[in-house]
Chains A and B, each alone.
Chain A
Amino acid sequence: MPHDRLNFPPFNRRSFLKRCGMGMGTLGLAALLKDAGLLTAHATSNVAPLSPRQPHFPGKAKRVVHFFLNGGPSHVDTFDPKPALEKYAGKPLPMETLKTERKTGAAFPSPFKFKKQGQSGLEISELFSNLGECADDLTIIRSMRANLPNHEPSLMLMNCGESVMSRPSVGSWVTYGLGSMNENLPGFVVLCPGGYPIKEAENWQSAFLPGVFQGTLIDSQHQSLDKLIENIRSDYASPGLQRKQLDLLQRMNEEHRQTRQEDPALEARMQSFELAYRMQMEAADAFDISREPRETQELYGSGIHGRQALIARRLLEKGVRYVQVWHGASQPWDDHENIAANHRKLAGQCDQPIAALIKDLKRRGMLDDTLVIVGGEFGRTPVGELVKGKEPSGRDHNPYGFSMVLAGGGVKGGHVHGATDEFGFKAVQDVVHVHDLHATILHLLGFDHEKFTYRYAGRDFRLTDVHGHVVRGVLS
């Protein structure tokens, strides 16, 4: 492999600009030039793809945490109250029934109570009463749209901006664009307890971006560090011996480099060993929540979800750029049946931890520059799903209208954006397509989504492809 091929961002400003498609954008260029590391291009460069980089313009958010409630939480039971459903309970809705994956029938009112929360009076269901306490920090987008009522394409759309073809995930794009604030940890971490969601690693793929930008999956059910991160510690050498080894290594490498001064890759690799040595401690520390005060542990709760939310905060605090926290393996929120009991159970698992994270970030002064995203790949139908021989007790998938919750990182607090129709079937006012959400996330991080591109296969690719508008209405 060509070590001195100038293909990597920090290596060479010009190729970086070209690759990022920012070369022509004056804003992007100006911002980039501020970055001393990039200005000096060749001289000081190392090949560290995770070193921090500046976006097109100063973004409000510096990092992202995305709680992925996979399976499709029902918006009419959580963040989008629809009293009109009561009126038609058990009767067909006075509107066209939109086509979804399975057959649906009559209006199915929410079994949960909604309550006005905070000074803003945001209406949130009892399922998320803890999150309700943060109402004045939340923006609820009630007018989300996706394309298809099937899990796989919708997960891909939400995570990668494209339903089918292999495209980089949002986390990969963001880490590619911004690097990490801590090179001792992966820049993009994915927490999922007990296995994989459906579509598996494709949800956090880097596709044509370098592999280092792919999400690093951590099965948050585990507690032993060895199972959390590969090769994180030695079973073969004591720290003392390892230090001596490293000293020897660096002396050898330095001698080797004497006659090869021109080569930044040699220097970069030398540095990476020092980083790795430190990473062994740092990673151990990041995942060790027992170091948190008791009060904080209690705030998050003791279950798996509490633990992974707390790990997420520790990672963010240590400079990880993008943390995605999945509810669990497969698709837990996919309640085609018995939604009353199941949604209650699921929300019971994650409501307190999510709220705790927001509160905790806030008191640490981190909420202002941390974007919190909560939601699934789509919502659910306001009508009941027909299951042969049974009373409808669940809802089908619904890409026509659903809710996403945002907090921190430059979004408004106590704000509702957009609306679905009277019954919650379809987004009708200020519709926000998933592409628009992506454009907005990138905007909050300081990127113009139309200029943030990567050259691959003869074309400049964008997260938002040819779509997407920044949703100005949610910006604070």
Chain B
Amino acid sequence: MMRIAGYTEGVFTPRRADTIALNMLRGYNVCLLDTKFIDSQRIVTMLSRATQTKNWSSNLQSGIAPALLASIICALLLFSLDARAADPTGGHDFFESKIRPILVEHCYKCHSAESEKIKGGLRLDTRETLLKGGDSGPGIIPEKADLSLLIKAVRYQEEELRMPPKVPLSPEKVAALVAWVNMGAPDPRSGSANQSIRPDATAENHWAFKPPVASPPPRVATKNWAKTPIDNFVLDQLESKKLSPSPDLDRRRLIRRVTYGLHGLPPTPEHVEIFLQDQSPEAYEKLIDRLLASPRYGERWGRHWLDVARYSDTKGYVYSDREEVRYLHSYAYRDWVINALNRDLPYDQFLRLQIAADQMKCDATDLAAMGFLTLGRRFLGVMPDIIDDRIDVLTRGTMGMTVSCARCHNHKFDPVSIRDYYSLYGVFQASTETSVPLPSPSVSDEARKTYETGLQTRAQAYTNKLVELSEKLAQRIRSRTGDYLDSQLRLDQFPNEDFYEILAPEDLNPAFVRRWQEYLFKSSQTFDPVFSPWHELMRLKDENFQEEARITWEKLKSENRRQINGLVQARLDAGQLRAKKDLVLIYTELFREILVRETNTVPESNSLPLEAAVPALRDVLFGSQSPTRPPDGNLADLQFYFEEESRVQLGKLEKEIDSWKVTSEGSPPHAGVLVDRANPKTARVFKRGNPGNPGEEVPRKFLEFFAGTNQFKNGSGRLELAQLISSPSNPLTARVLVNRVWMHHFGQGLMKTPSDFGLRSEPPSHPALLDYLASRFVADGWSLKKLHRLILLSRVYQQESRSDLQVDPNTAAGVERTDRARLEDPENRLLWRMPRQRLDFESTRDSLLAGSGEIDLTMGGRSIPIFENPLSRRRTVYGYVDRQFLPGVFRVFDFANPDLHIPQRHQTTVPQQALFFLNNRLIMESAHALAKKRSSPNFEQDLHQLYRTLFQRTPTSAETDRAVEFFQDAKSVPAPIRTEPPASAWQYGYGKVDPISGEFKSFSQLPHFEKVAWQGGPSWPDSRLGWLQLKAESGHPGNDLDHAVVRRWTAPHDTVIKIQGELSHPSKEGDGVHASIVTPRGVVASWLIHNQKTRTELDNIQILKGESVSFVVDCAKNLGYDDFKWAPVIIQTGKKENDPEGDQVVEWSAKKDFASPFEKLPEPLDAWSAYAQILLASNEFMFID
């Protein structure tokens, strides 16, 4: 039955139901007279929804035609009668909240359509079957609990009828069932016993599953307040509670609010001045337009979308020795999102491109959009989990539907069945992933060329290895054809993919067992000359096999004369078929001979006389589709075919390619796209979500509740999926989006659960407003910028946020207004004031940079680790997001967890946040920058400037006095005792090597540090010092023996050490490099190395405090191709005298300790910077009124 969403919570009494029905009738009458009257509109809206079919995809939004009015009246009458008779609505509420959960949780497993076997013939998942009952009689007798079998069973009254069988229900649950039966067992469920139904009867009536209907803005009593339709909707509800809105916000704080709202940044003092000076009525509108036109807008709102898309630059946990952990394509997606928002790409197109850009006419750069699907966690490559993540982000992100619940069973509340889930699963299973280079103008030709050459080399290495290993593998699989045929008789013995087993080459590989299974299945779909006898005979039962087989074989021969492969026929005629094993043996022998014949140059004597029959058999073993070969595809798809060792070899080579793409300067941005597979498989339901337990096949299609049984027609169906999601007649998509936008502006959505619009979600605070916005949004061409304008221009948005401001503080009415509001609506759901907001992680960091004037507004490009020194000044949206090793500060400030689709961030207040404001380097640098910006000799002017920059206002006189006081105090405090770490043990330089003795003499520091390397100057090679260079793990010697490159470690105390590490010279060209380890005792080891690797390990080296160990590399005879890798690690093995740490491992790693000169700590705080720091840490800075 109907429910007026959002207006009536709780149980209807008959009287109330009557009243409402009467209201409806009244509404209908009034409706004829004045369509603007809100109640009538609501009811008409509601009725029109009720009369629409659920299948919106075939039935586009229909208004309410006069012809429908008759049926509305009928509906009304029915409603009121029914309501009077059985209290259906209240009963249904009771059923939904108490009874259905019990049935679902405790009974459905054995007594519903989803049960593997329906126990006792009883189904409890429809009203009809429950009443009808099972083998023991009717399930319940309404109003007679004591006589109802169901109740007897749950009461454990009788020995032989105790349900649920193992653990009795709690007394509360039993009581609820009893009450329900005595109530007459109101039950909204429909469906007949013969059809598999979902427990979703009320989904038919769920407001969110019907198209939004734009009602005209309601009339309001308060005059002259409402400026926009939004205001009417909000005010109307306020008035109904006898509440009133708050006064307008002052203009200084208004520009702060809206600038943060659209940019996530504070307004500059200049912009504040312009706005304050502009007296024109359009000043605010102009401000909004300016903000929307700025690229800062896309950066802010792009990040909101990235929360939805669970954006990360890394894959999560991987075997990092054989897989690149960073995503190649993440930043291109991020930049695409920012750009799409800045150009106001219509939201429907925005979504379609993210789901199916590969199948649409679009710019090449738009392919990057598909990062939406491809940037999730990788779950060690387990496909069902990757697809699950994609289904989740897609359905919750765009439609507010929690489809992934149906991975294991039908959704318990929403109209999503397990079949629906696997229909979508099929769409993604039919898509495979690849990356596509995108145009990028900004790279030099030289860098591009280096990149391409490097890429080619690596790609070739991978392909060569793949071909080699695939052929080796195929040979082995072919030689075991008999075993693989035999495996088909015992398929259940092979583990599924979530059971990862280390296989030796001699093991039967489950992936090939399945590949054979598929191959045979395919051959069974039509008449297959080689395998038809196999299929026909395998179908027989084991009993009486010999006899049955003879008959079947004769029949097959007579029906398909000449079509059966000659050799197969000959062998079957000659052989004995006592059991299925014999059949396996016959085929095995046949394939063995084919194999022998192929590998021997001299054919065995006449063993295969029927030459014409050979090619078809040969094709089974050697053809391009042979089940003995791994299929075509990328390594992710292939990994299960190879055994561990090959997999690691291939993985390492693939990692080389990916890492090169990620790091090479000349590498273009890439899009991570899905493309359709050539021969998509139809997905099967995995029973209880277990891939090892496949059930029925399900076609690719959309959720049945919304789109009926229409199957997708083209390829994977992804484009059709995208179209259905972005369709104006999809009841959810526009609503979900406008709610997200509203949520970011107001801190709370009209719907409290932005990614769950399902049956169990709380209804929206303003249903008519939500519908109005959604309809307007679609009518405005899905323009986000228009939506922002609409919302921001409303007077609701421009309200004061302080609740203790009375309308008129001097009147009792004013005081009463606030008190009433707090009492009536403490959560401020009705928006009687604007909620105050706290800066989130991004706007906190961005504001620190903007406030101190240090912000770098460069857009786009690869992500930067924002908390590494030297600290980046780029906006936080460009920060590197490593979902596996997310720096603590992200978490501490409630950053969206990049593992999951995050509809709304948490908001916590913890001391670690305060520690950040007290002690973090970024704060100190910002405070210093602010202090340095002082331009006038006048203290007061400086102070004013500081307040204007950070707070958009001037300080009060009390604040000025307090500042003066603080400055005097601060000067009297001594400077801190620095705990700066001791100078690094490592130095980076060069020196001369004696060509004869190999001795190394002299040491000079390399003078310049550039980004990641020590070298001669800003450009490399340097005009004076040539090719000398040292990076964390690698380096390049200078041009001659006078310029060997030297990494030097100096002992901090007397001790004994050992040295570990690996030296490699990767290039085939040139003559390699010459390396040595030099201690005060002379050269202790040296290597001449060319296109090879070697361990550089030394043990038991005594060393005194201040003595050095040098790692020296020169260019050997000739300069050229001298890049080397060497990141030694020094481990202290001896104890330091009197070392209380005892056996603590102390080590110095060239890689980990590699430090730039920017590591140096900022200066200690002086009075100005200490003061500026406090302003940055203040609540006024962190909150937006």
- Nearest CB of B to A246, in Å: 8
* Measured CA separation A388–B890 after assembly (Å): 47
- Stretch with Cβ within 8 A of A (4 or more), from B48-56, B361-369, B512-520, B891-899: B891-899
Is B1174 within 8 A of A252, CB to CB? yes
Contact of B910 among A48, A163, A233, A255 (CB under 8 A): A48
Is A458 within 8 A of B918, CB to CB? no
Is A237 within 8 A of B909, CB to CB? no
A: contact size bracket: 35 or more
Is B402 within 8 A of A238, CB to CB? no
A221-B1145, A263-B836 as given contacts; A216 in contact with B888, CB under 8 Å: yes
- Nearest CB of B to A66, in Å: 21
Is A1 within 8 A of B756, CB to CB? no
* Measured CA separation A244–B966 after assembly (Å): 8
A253 interface residue (CB < 8 Å to B): yes
Contact of B900 among A166, A183, A242 (CB under 8 A): A166
> Which chain A residues lie closer than 8 Å to B204 at the CB level?
none
Q: Interface digits, B177-195 against A, CB 8 Å rule (1 contact, 0 not)?
A: 0000000000000000000
Is A5 within 8 A of B907, CB to CB? yes
Query: B478-507: which residues lie under 8 A (CB-CB) from chain A?
Result: 495, 498-502, 504
> Which chain B residues lie closer than 8 Å to A42 at the CB level?
826
Dominant SS at the A interface?
A: loop
Query: A271-285: which residues lie under 8 A (CB-CB) from chain B?
Result: 272-273, 275-277, 279-280
> Which chain A residues lie closer than 8 Å to B414 at the CB level?
458
Contact of B918 among A12, A212, A273 (CB under 8 A): A273
A3-B1183, A457-B402 as given contacts; A233 in contact with B894, CB under 8 Å: no
Is B908 within 8 A of A211, CB to CB? yes
Interface centre among B895, B919, B1143 (most CB of A within 10 A): B919
Is B747 within 8 A of A4, CB to CB? yes
- Nearest CB of A to B1164, in Å: 5
Is A148 within 8 A of B1177, CB to CB? no
> Which chain B residues lie closer than 8 Å to A252 at the CB level?
959, 1174-1175, 1178-1180
Contact of A273 among B172, B838, B1170, B1177 (CB under 8 A): B1177
Contact of A457 among B405, B884, B907 (CB under 8 A): B405
A242-B918, A276-B914, A457-B405 as given contacts; A211 in contact with B1177, CB under 8 Å: no
Contact of B974 among A201, A238, A302, A457 (CB under 8 A): A238
* Measured CA separation A185–B791 after assembly (Å): 42
> Which chain B residues lie closer than 8 Å to A165 at the CB level?
385, 388
Query: A259-307: which residues lie under 8 A (CB-CB) from chain B?
Result: 259-263, 265-266, 268-270, 272-273, 275-277, 279-280, 290, 302-304
Is B907 within 8 A of A1, CB to CB? yes
A240 interface residue (CB < 8 Å to B): yes
Interface centre among B382, B413, B891, B914 (most CB of A within 10 A): B914
Contact of A458 among B758, B962, B980 (CB under 8 A): B758
- Nearest CB of A to B1142, in Å: 4
Query: B868-904: which residues lie under 8 A (CB-CB) from chain A?
Result: 884-886, 888-892, 894-895, 897, 899-901
> Which chain A residues lie closer than 8 Å to B888 at the CB level?
216, 230
Q: Interface digits, B713-726 against A, CB 8 Å rule (1 contact, 0 not)?
A: 00000000000000
Is A183 within 8 A of B962, CB to CB? no
Dominant SS at the B interface?
A: loop
> Which chain B residues lie closer than 8 Å to A393 at the CB level?
none
Is A1 within 8 A of B838, CB to CB? yes
Contact of A237 among B805, B916, B1143, B1170 (CB under 8 A): B1170
Interface centre among B915, B962, B969, B976 (most CB of A within 10 A): B915
- Stretch with Cβ within 8 A of B (4 or more), from A96-104, A116-124, A356-364, A369-377: A96-104
Contact of A200 among B317, B889, B914, B959 (CB under 8 A): B317
> Which chain B residues lie closer than 8 Å to A318 at the CB level?
none
Interface centre among B756, B924, B1183 (most CB of A within 10 A): B1183
Is A237 within 8 A of B899, CB to CB? no
> Which chain B residues lie closer than 8 Å to A183 at the CB level?
910-911
A31 interface residue (CB < 8 Å to B): no
Is A459 within 8 A of B500, CB to CB? no
Q: Interface digits, A436-464 against B, CB 8 Å rule (1 contact, 0 not)?
A: 00000000000000000000011100000
Closest partner residue, chain B, to A202 (CB atom): B317
A184 interface residue (CB < 8 Å to B): yes
B475 interface residue (CB < 8 Å to A): no
Q: Interface digits, B53-72 against A, CB 8 Å rule (1 contact, 0 not)?
A: 00000000000000000000
Is B914 within 8 A of A237, CB to CB? no
A149-B499, A458-B761 as given contacts; A231 in contact with B919, CB under 8 Å: yes
Query: B796-837: which residues lie under 8 A (CB-CB) from chain A?
Result: 801-805, 822, 826-828, 835-837
> Which chain B residues lie closer than 8 Å to A164 at the CB level?
379, 382, 385, 498
A231-B916, A457-B402 as given contacts; A259 in contact with B802, CB under 8 Å: yes
* Measured CA separation A226–B202 after assembly (Å): 57
* Measured CA separation A234–B915 after assembly (Å): 9
Contact of B906 among A48, A102, A211, A303 (CB under 8 A): A211
Is A103 within 8 A of B962, CB to CB? no
Is A260 within 8 A of B908, CB to CB? no
A223-B1144, A232-B919, A459-B402 as given contacts; A153 in contact with B498, CB under 8 Å: yes
> Which chain A residues lie closer than 8 Å to B111 at the CB level?
none
Interface centre among B396, B822, B1143 (most CB of A within 10 A): B1143
B658 interface residue (CB < 8 Å to A): no
- Nearest CB of A to B132, in Å: 29
Is A268 within 8 A of B907, CB to CB? no
Closest partner residue, chain B, to A460 (CB atom): B760
Is A272 within 8 A of B913, CB to CB? yes
Contact of B891 among A211, A244, A249 (CB under 8 A): A211
Is B889 within 8 A of A230, CB to CB? yes
A2-B837, A244-B973, A279-B911 as given contacts; A200 in contact with B884, CB under 8 Å: yes
Is B1179 within 8 A of A240, CB to CB? no
Q: Interface digits, B199-236 against A, CB 8 Å rule (1 contact, 0 not)?
A: 00000000000000000000000000000000000000
A169 interface residue (CB < 8 Å to B): no
> Which chain B residues lie closer than 8 Å to A223 at the CB level?
1141, 1144
Is B976 within 8 A of A237, CB to CB? yes
A210 interface residue (CB < 8 Å to B): yes
* Measured CA separation A49–B1145 after assembly (Å): 37
Closest partner residue, chain B, to A283 (CB atom): B915
Is B907 within 8 A of A2, CB to CB? yes
B377 interface residue (CB < 8 Å to A): yes
* Measured CA separation A291–B805 after assembly (Å): 54
Is A206 within 8 A of B973, CB to CB? no
> Which chain A residues lie closer than 8 Å to B828 at the CB level?
4
Q: Interface digits, A234-260 against B, CB 8 Å rule (1 contact, 0 not)?
A: 111110111011001101110111011
- Nearest CB of B to A160, in Å: 12
> Which chain B residues lie closer than 8 Å to A4 at the CB level?
747, 828, 835-836
* Measured CA separation A304–B911 after assembly (Å): 29
Is B756 within 8 A of A458, CB to CB? yes
Is B907 within 8 A of A3, CB to CB? yes
> Which chain A residues lie closer than 8 Å to B500 at the CB level?
101, 148, 150
* Measured CA separation A424–B826 after assembly (Å): 60
A7-B906, A216-B888, A257-B1179 as given contacts; A262 in contact with B405, CB under 8 Å: no
> Which chain A residues lie closer than 8 Å to B891 at the CB level?
206, 211-212, 214
A174 interface residue (CB < 8 Å to B): no
Is A275 within 8 A of B911, CB to CB? yes
> Which chain A residues lie closer than 8 Å to B379 at the CB level?
164
B755 interface residue (CB < 8 Å to A): yes
B129 interface residue (CB < 8 Å to A): no
A49-B910, A230-B889, A256-B1179 given; 19 more Cβ-contact pairs under 8 Å: A2-B746, A3-B838, A12-B827, A50-B910, A102-B501, A164-B382, A165-B385, A210-B894, A211-B906, A212-B894, A212-B906, A223-B1141, A230-B916, A232-B915, A236-B976, A240-B973, A279-B911, A458-B414, A459-B405
- 5 pairs across A/B with beta carbons < 8 Å? A150-B499, A232-B915, A236-B919, A265-B838, A276-B918
Nearest 9 pairs of A and B residues by beta carbon: A2-B747, A276-B914, A211-B891, A458-B402, A275-B911, A210-B906, A458-B756, A47-B909, A276-B911
